[in-house]
């Protein structure tokens, strides 16, 4: 059962305790696409930075992949699935229109008393989920919240359209959020939207296929993510130099590069995970966080800035001190 609201005392500091990732086994390289589309490895790499992506097989479900990512995050946190109070799954591509993905994922990981909820904020879904998780922990209404970004974009991609077929991939990433012992934890977020440009990036309900006015989306993505990142740094009283690692939504390496340059963040502190995943919408940021930890870019206490932009248009940015549940002793040992 979920904890009841705290009546008083010090508010818990919400913190990312663990991270996990999972991708389908089917690897689609640029060479695979070149074999059936009028494109080239050179074009894809130069214009997007993407070298490969994963696609679900007909027999696979997104719930399986999402559950694997969640289990990975729980193990990384050293916690148990049975103690998860809420599971928030951000996705635009659940296995079915209804039910959502969260109940199937919770059942698979063994979280029998979790509240289960899907959210759709396109590429920003994970950051919305992270903000909600932080609020639940901070208020004392929960002590363990899983946030998962999971997508099967291959199911809504027009595989005959070279302008979009090369861009999207499938996968899932997750973080476990709980109370931290000390430190900054998960800071405040900023959010924004512009519905007047909804027709530049969308998929209709019937026979859904992602349609995108690429250049227009590109320009707005750079502008909005730069602005949102600047706002979130200011809101948290942090300078760009203090950021240890920067994860922007992994849609295109050129976009990530332009935003990092505008912020003055050197590229060695920036995730370019899009190379291996392509654009996985809500899964892109947690997949990049998992890769960053694996590659040694994130240590307990590292300050991570995250920013996303996608269909809506919707944008979001947040700041978190990585695994800030560690004590000074643990951290320095």
Nearer to ligand UT7, 47 or 141 (CB): 47
Selected binder of ligand UT7 within 255, 265, 274, 321 (CB under 6 A): 255
CB of 16 to ligand UT7, least distance (A): 23
Asked if 123 is part of the footprint of ligand UT7 (rule: CB under 6 A), the reply reads yes
Q: Which span (81-89, 108-116, 189-197, 216-224) binds ligand UT7, by CB under 6 A? A: 216-224
DSSP track, 57-96 = -TT--HHHHHHHHHHHHHHHHT--GGG--EEEEE-S--SS
Q: Is 218 in the site for ligand UT7 (CB under 6 A)?
A: yes
Name which position in 48, 132, 293, 325 contacts ligand UT7 (CB under 6 A). Answer: 48
Is 166 a binder of ligand UT7 (CB under 6 A)? yes
Among 55, 86, 162, 297, binds ligand UT7 (CB under 6 A): 162
Min separation Cβ 312 and ligand UT7, Å: 10
Q: How far is the CB of 207 from ligand UT7 (least distance, A)?
A: 20
- The nearest distance, CB 91 to ligand UT7, in angstroms, is 14
Contacts of residue 158, Cβ cutoff 8 Å, sequence gap at least 6:
164, 165, 209, 210, 211
x/- track of binding to ligand UT7 for residues 7-46 (CB under 6 A): --------------------------------x---xx--
Residue (74 or 166) nearer to ligand UT7, CB: 166
**Host H or E run for residue 33:** helix 30-34
96 burial level (CB within 10 Å; 0-12, 13-18, 19+): exposed
Instruction: Given the residues 30, 236, 252, 279, select the one marked as catalytic.
Output: 279
What would the DSSP string read from start to end of 232-295?
HHHHTT--GGG-SEEEE--S-HHHHHHHHHHHT--GGGB--THHHH-B-GGGHHHHHHHHHHHT
Residue (166 or 176) nearer to ligand UT7, CB = 166
Active-site option among 79, 123, 124, 148: 123
Entry field: residues in the chain: 333
Q: Which is nearer to ligand UT7, 137 or 285 (CB)?
A: 285
CA distances from 275 to 41, 91, 171, 254, 330 (A): 12, 21, 14, 11, 34
Active-site residue flag, 279: yes
Sign for the pseudo-dihedral over CA of 208, 44, 217, 55: positive
Min dist CB 209 to ligand UT7, Å, is: 15
How many residues make contact with ligand UT7 (CB under 6 A)?
22
Q: Indicate if 70 belongs to the active site.
A: no
Known catalytic residue: 148? no
CA distances from 330 to 143, 155, 186, 205, 325 (A): 22, 44, 19, 50, 10
Residues classed as catalytic? 123, 249, 279
Q: Which residues bind ligand UT7 (CB under 6 A)?
A: 39, 43-44, 47-48, 123, 162-163, 166, 201, 214-215, 217-218, 221, 251-252, 255, 279, 281, 309-310
């Amino acid at each position: 059962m979920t904890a009841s609201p705290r009546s008083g005392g010090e508010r818990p500091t919400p913190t990312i305790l663990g991270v996990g990732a999972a991708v389908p086994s089917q690897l689609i390289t640029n060479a695979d696409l070149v074999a059936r589309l009028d494109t080239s490895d050179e074009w894809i790499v130069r214009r997007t930075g993407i070298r490969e992506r994963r696609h679900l097989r007909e027999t696979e479900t997104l719930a399986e992949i999402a559950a694997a990512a969640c289990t990975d995050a729980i193990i990384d946190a050293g916690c148990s699935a049975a103690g998860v109070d809420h599971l928030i799954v951000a996705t635009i591509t659940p296995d079915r229109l209804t039910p959502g993905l969260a109940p199937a994922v919770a059942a698979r990981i063994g979280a029998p008393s979790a509240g289960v909820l899907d959210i759709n904020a396109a590429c920003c879904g994970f950051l919305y989920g992270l903000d909600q998780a932080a609020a639940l922990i901070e208020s004392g209404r929960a002590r363990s919240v899983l946030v998962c970004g999971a997508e099967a974009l291959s199911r809504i991609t027009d595989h005959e359209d070279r302008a979009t077929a090369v861009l999207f991939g499938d996968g899932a990433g997750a973080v476990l959020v709980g109370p931290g012992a000390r430190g900054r934890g998960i800071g405040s977020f900023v959010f924004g939207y512009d519905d007047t440009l909804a027709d530049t990036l969308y998929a209709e309900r019937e026979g859904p296929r992602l349609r995108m006015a690429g250049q227009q989306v590109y320009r707005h993505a750079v502008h909005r993510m730069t602005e949102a990142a600047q706002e979130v740094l200011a809101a948290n009283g942090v300078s760009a130099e203090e950021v240890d690692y920067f994860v922007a939504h992994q849609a295109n390496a050129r976009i990530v590069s332009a935003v990092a340059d505008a912020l003055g963040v050197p590229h060695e502190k920036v995730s370019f995970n899009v190379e291996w995943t392509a654009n996985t919408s809500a899964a892109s940021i947690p997949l990049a966080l998992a890769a960053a930890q694996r590659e040694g870019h994130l240590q307990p206490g590292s300050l991570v800035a995250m920013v996303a932009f996608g269909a809506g248009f919707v944008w979001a940015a947040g700041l978190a001190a990585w695994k800030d549940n560690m004590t000074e002793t643990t951290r320095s040992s």
